[in-house]
Structure 1
């Protein structure tokens, strides 16, 4: 499929593995296209019942490659080729290692999550002059207690896999070496249901979530548009590239509020 994404079948399971370990599996345009093709295959092949998204290397995914961008959104999958996909088959995320920003949003886009005990999740976009625009803005508060999600977004704090399991985001917690076998085991367990029944289940879930998600996408788009040409975004990108802490400059309204 691509040197950036490995794809293989394990019986009824399509195993999709991010393979850009030297860049912490940060998503670029090539990876987006490869993921889109992989999940098109999962959607369209009746012999495939479930997908597993895994990653090579010590990081699950660092989100968008801020140096190159993640490429255009795809017609069927949206961002990363998967974030807005209306799947009728379950997807299991096998999170071994940190999942940062868009990487965590990939996890939030999955239906089931298996995580290594040393994995952790974070949404650090505000420290780069951005907001979580790949679903984190609304899926975070939906999958986690709202206050926990808001704290993550405001502070760029880390959510450990053990706490995520305690809070219900992670279905199964495992040792690092066992993440993929555990994810494949969970994936196979989902095949117990009839294919038609599973498809109808997911169609119903999409219908129930549709109104809230459309509002969430609109809010995310509005926030990102407002920040697109902002000094905050420019400084956030520069700080990331230069590996330093950002130096935020308050705008006139904020400065006026602070000074009274």
Structure 2
């Protein structure tokens, strides 16, 4: 574990906190490995039934650390994908407790969870197209299974955000919280799960998740070729540079 990922275990609940508030909890390689290690501990402990993933400092996660990306650093863990989570979520139930922004890979981390508790002021988005990138950490695969197709397509193609209130209306968000109360409300939901039989909870999660998401592995494989071309493009680097330099990107289409 690293100090960029904090853990708290007790009462059958694992709380995993992304702790990089100075960069809105953007994920670099060290943080991705920290999340993976925390998930491993959560999975390996028989006294833990349900997990909560959240972010420190009033933001859930702003996605990939673009400065680290420009240095050639990928926030990936082999076999687990972005953030050490999106391609292999835990077998036990996971709740995303969202305050502020869940943006880009941060939204994709939230979508990797089984349940979402969000502040009324929280916002979700996959703006990768605005950076010359593709939301390749599961967002494009999971959104159409969670939201109506046309809404999922609008969010993906425009890069515009979705409010937690609208997310709740369309079934993305399970519980709407008052600002600052997402973790507390996630704990309350987690305790309602943790009081049940652990093996039954885990098996139930696996069956429901399998029924809803059985094509995820095929989807990740299918999107790899299309995404690789984009990631290798000049536009991808231009998008990251423009963001870091706080200016409008100059696309070249190559």
**What's the TM-score bracket when you normalise by the shorter of the two chains?**
over 0.9
Query: Structure 1 residue 186 and structure 2 residue 186: aligned?
Result: no
Q: Which runs of 5+ in 1 are unaligned?
A: 252-260
User: 2:108 is paired with a residue of what secondary structure?
Assistant: helix
Query: Structure 1 residue 115 and structure 2 residue 118: aligned?
Result: yes
Hey, what's the Cα distance between the residues in 2 that align with 1:192 and 1:11?
A: 9
Query: Structure 1 residue 135 and structure 2 residue 138: aligned?
Result: yes
Residues 32-71 of structure 1 mapped to structure 2, 5 A cutoff: 32-69=32-69, 71=74
TM (norm. structure 1) is 0.91
Hey, what's the Cα distance between the residues in 2 that align with 1:229 and 1:219?
A: 17
Aligned to 2:165: 162
TM (norm. structure 2) is 0.93
Aligned to 2:179: 176
Residues 1-260 of structure 1 mapped to structure 2, 5 A cutoff: 1-69=1-69, 71=74, 73-75=76-78, 77-209=80-212, 211-250=214-253
User: 1:52 is paired with a residue of what secondary structure?
Assistant: strand
Cα offsets for 1:25-54 (capped at 9, x unmatched): 000111111101100011110001110011
Hey, what's the Cα distance between the residues in 2 that align with 1:23 and 1:147?
A: 32
Q: Which structure is richer in relative contact order (CA contacts within 8 A, separation 6 or more)?
A: 2
Hey, what's the Cα distance between the residues in 1 that align with 2:234 and 2:141?
A: 25
Q: Which runs of 5+ in 2 are unaligned?
A: none
Deviation at 1:79, TM superposition (A): 2.0
Cα offsets for 1:180-238 (capped at 9, x unmatched): 11000001111233212122223323543564212320233122111122232122122
User: 2:246 is paired with a residue of what secondary structure?
Assistant: coil
Larger deviation, residues 188-197 vs 107-116: 188-197
Deviation at 1:75, TM superposition (A): 4.3
Q: What is the aligned length? A: 251
Larger radius of gyration: 1
Deviation at 1:141, TM superposition (A): 1.2
Native 8 Å contact 2:145 2:212 kept in 1: no
Hey, what's the Cα distance between the residues in 2 that align with 1:222 and 1:189?
A: 42
Native 8 Å contact 2:49 2:201 kept in 1: no
Native 8 Å contact 2:102 2:123 kept in 1: yes
Cα offsets for 1:53-73 (capped at 9, x unmatched): 111113211101011136463
Native 8 Å contact 1:132 1:220 kept in 2: no
Deviation at 1:249, TM superposition (A): 2.7
Hey, what's the Cα distance between the residues in 1 that align with 2:229 and 2:171?
A: 33
Deviation at 1:147, TM superposition (A): 1.1
Hey, what's the Cα distance between the residues in 2 that align with 1:14 and 1:221?
A: 32
